[in-house]
């Protein structure tokens, strides 16, 4: 009997085979085509191929058509699709990120994203700031924030600060607030200073896997130089990278988000919270704290500990939380997203906060204060809505004798 010559694998065949080798990638086979992913996707309405249609394109052997479109870049890696998928397909981490990687390799990169990626390559931060100035946020803080290598080699808590928390003037308010809280709690901590580079997680989810690995290696080299018991970070993206992605690269440390770390010390913190705050607060669940890592109650417990503070919930809360629009590279594609969608999820979110009766939107991710403050400026009913990280609200309520 004649054997048929093996057919040349199509683009789809190669792409699909690669997906199946990635963690839980084989689950794509069990897609029911229920379409829940595409309907829950905040930008599904502008995508040529929202997630379920992407899977259909895989099965129809026409995935080459998907990577010829540019609306894959509308994905903000918010995990909403992954959260609702009954077949537990890793849509965000595997399918969407790999599709973006194909676009990247083909040179189809929005100009804004290219700048952020080039900055990450050259300066180790997406903002294109001087790496030498990474610890400048701590200037003038008393007692001084210890820089590992310079001030000490051993510490209890290694604080991984992150790009926006280090450099963004608005986000530095949160960073300084946490330094004050850590000092008040008597925590022994240090930062990496100029040795730290971007955690790289959002670059990974924007398809730049190689860049993510390069950045992770640099952070790994910096971390290996010192002795410490745990890593602390205010950045859910850094938290996600350190907890779920770095271990596969041989960089494995216990890590906590600041809301987890502080919630564990609530008994010690609570007596310091003496300044009442007459505010009604809605908490925005950051995607990489909530859906990606199931941390929902710690930030709420901290907020409830502030005297006078009333906590309300928005229509989207906990696992249904609505993304600020900054994930998966969205932070660097505001213009591209506006051009495609003429909508900003951050604007929908501040409307939700006001509708819930909140005068303050509490956040727990460095992407959020500038995004939501900016959104509130353009929404009539949201003008005056305050935006503050949980750490900032705690520090404002803290009275230390």
Q: Which is nearer to other proteins, 109 or 262 (CB)?
A: 109
Q: CA–CA separation, 141 vs 163, rounded Å?
A: 19
Site pattern 223..252 for other proteins (x: CB under 8 A): ------------------------------
Closest approach of other proteins to the CB of residue 387, in Å: 17
Contact 55, 95 (CB under 8 A): yes
Contact pick of 208, 285, 298, 352 for other proteins (by CB under 8 A) = 208
Closest approach of other proteins to the CB of residue 365, in Å: 24
Please tell me the number of Cα atoms within 13 Å of 71 on its side-chain side: 18
Q: Which is nearer to other proteins, 109 or 255 (CB)?
A: 109
Q: At what angle do helices 169-184 and 390-397 cross, to 10 degrees?
A: 50
Is 105 near other proteins (CB under 8 A)? Answer: yes
As a dihedral over the C-alpha atoms of residue 38, residue 43, residue 49, residue 53, rounded to 10 degrees, the angle is 0
Closest approach of other proteins to the CB of residue 213, in Å: 8
Q: Which is nearer to other proteins, 211 or 395 (CB)?
A: 211
Contact pick of 104, 191, 287, 385 for other proteins (by CB under 8 A) = 104
**Contact window for other proteins (CB under 8 A) among 8-16, 100-108, 157-165, 191-199:** 100-108
Hey, what are 270's tokens? 């609570």
What does the angle CA 34 – CA 39 – CA 42 come to, to the nearest 5 degrees? 150
Closest approach of other proteins to the CB of residue 242, in Å: 20
Is 10 near other proteins (CB under 8 A)? Answer: no
Q: Which residues contact 129 (CB under 8 A, 6 or more apart)?
A: 123, 167
Contact pick of 152, 209, 316, 318 for other proteins (by CB under 8 A) = 209
What residues between 290 and 309 interact with other proteins by CB under 8 A?
A: none
Give me the residue label for tokens 């309405």. 45
Closest approach of other proteins to the CB of residue 104, in Å: 5
Q: Which is nearer to other proteins, 117 or 387 (CB)?
A: 117
Coil, helix or strand at residue 386: strand
Closest approach of other proteins to the CB of residue 393, in Å: 21
Q: What is the DSSP string of 190-237?
A: EE-GGG-----HHHHHTT-HHHHHHHHHHHHHHHHTSB-SEEEES-HH
Q: CA–CA separation, 54 vs 47, rounded Å?
A: 10
Instruction: Provide the sign of the torsion angle of the four alpha carbons 283, 285, 286, 288, taken in this order.
Output: positive
Edge-to-edge strand ranges of the sheet holding 189-191: 189-191, 157-159, 230-233, 255-257
**Contact window for other proteins (CB under 8 A) among 51-59, 97-105, 310-318, 349-357:** 97-105
Q: CA–CA separation, 75 vs 71, rounded Å?
A: 8
Identify the DSSP state of 361.
E
Is 220 near other proteins (CB under 8 A)? Answer: no
Site pattern 114..153 for other proteins (x: CB under 8 A): x--xx--xxx----xxx-x---------------------
What residues between 251 and 290 interact with other proteins by CB under 8 A?
A: none
Is 107 near other proteins (CB under 8 A)? Answer: yes
Q: CA–CA separation, 89 vs 63, rounded Å?
A: 18
Is 377 near other proteins (CB under 8 A)? Answer: no
Closest approach of other proteins to the CB of residue 116, in Å: 10
Give me the residue label for tokens 């029911």. 32
Hey, what are 349's tokens? 């979110």
Q: Which is nearer to other proteins, 68 or 270 (CB)?
A: 68
Q: CA–CA separation, 138 vs 340, rounded Å?
A: 39
Q: CA–CA separation, 370 vs 127, rounded Å?
A: 14
Is 211 near other proteins (CB under 8 A)? Answer: yes
Q: Which is nearer to other proteins, 101 or 389 (CB)?
A: 101
**Contact window for other proteins (CB under 8 A) among 143-151, 210-218, 350-358, 377-385:** 210-218
Is 24 near other proteins (CB under 8 A)? Answer: no
Coil, helix or strand at residue 388: strand
Q: Which is nearer to other proteins, 83 or 101 (CB)?
A: 101
Size of the residue set binding other proteins (CB under 8 A): 22
Which positions lie near other proteins, rule CB under 8 A? 101, 104-105, 107, 109, 111, 114, 117-118, 121-123, 128-130, 132, 208-211, 213-214
């Amino acid at each position: 009997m004649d054997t048929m010559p093996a057919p040349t694998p199509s683009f789809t065949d190669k792409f699909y085979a690669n997906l199946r080798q990635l963690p839980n990638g084989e689950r794509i086979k069990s897609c029911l085509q229920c379409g829940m992913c595409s309907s829950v996707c905040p930008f599904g309405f502008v995508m040529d191929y929202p997630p379920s249609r992407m899977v259909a394109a895989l099965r129809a052997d026409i995935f080459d058509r998907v990577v010829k479109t540019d609306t894959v870049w509308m994905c903000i890696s918010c995990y909403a699709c992954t959260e609702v998928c009954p077949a537990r397909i890793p849509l965000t981490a595997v399918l969407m990120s790999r599709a973006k990687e194909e676009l990247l390799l083909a040179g189809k990169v929005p100009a804004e994203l290219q700048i952020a990626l080039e900055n990450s390559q050259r300066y180790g931060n997406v903002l294109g700031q001087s790496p030498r100035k990474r610890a400048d946020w701590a200037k003038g803080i008393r007692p001084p924030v210890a820089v590992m290598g310079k001030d000490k080699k051993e510490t209890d808590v290694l604080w991984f600060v992150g790009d926006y928390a280090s450099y963004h003037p608005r986000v530095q308010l949160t960073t300084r607030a946490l330094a004050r809280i850590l000092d008040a709690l008597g925590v022994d901590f240090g930062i990496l200073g100029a040795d730290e580079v971007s955690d790289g997680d959002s670059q990974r989810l924007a398809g730049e896997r190689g860049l993510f690995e390069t950045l992770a290696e640099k952070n790994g080299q910096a971390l290996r130089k010192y002795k410490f018991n745990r890593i602390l970070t205010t950045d859910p993206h850094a938290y996600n990278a350190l907890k779920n992605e770095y271990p596969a690269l041989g960089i494995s440390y216990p890590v906590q988000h600041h809301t987890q770390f502080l919630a564990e010390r609530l008994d010690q913190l609570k007596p310091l919270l003496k300044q009442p705050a007459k505010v009604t607060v809605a908490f925005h669940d950051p995607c990489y704290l909530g859906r990606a890592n199931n941390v929902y109650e710690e930030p709420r417990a901290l907020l409830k500990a502030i005297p006078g503070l009333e906590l309300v919930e928005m229509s989207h809360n906990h696992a249904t939380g609505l993304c600020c629009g900054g994930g998966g590279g969205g932070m660097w594609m505001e213009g591209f997203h506006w051009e495609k969608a003429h909508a900003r999820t951050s604007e929908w979110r501040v409307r939700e906060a006001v509708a819930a009766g909140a005068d303050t939107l509490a956040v727990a991710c460095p992407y959020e204060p500038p995004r939501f403050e900016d959104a509130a400026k353009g929404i009539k009913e949201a003008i005056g809505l305050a935006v503050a990280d949980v750490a900032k609200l705690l520090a404002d309520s803290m009275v230390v004798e």
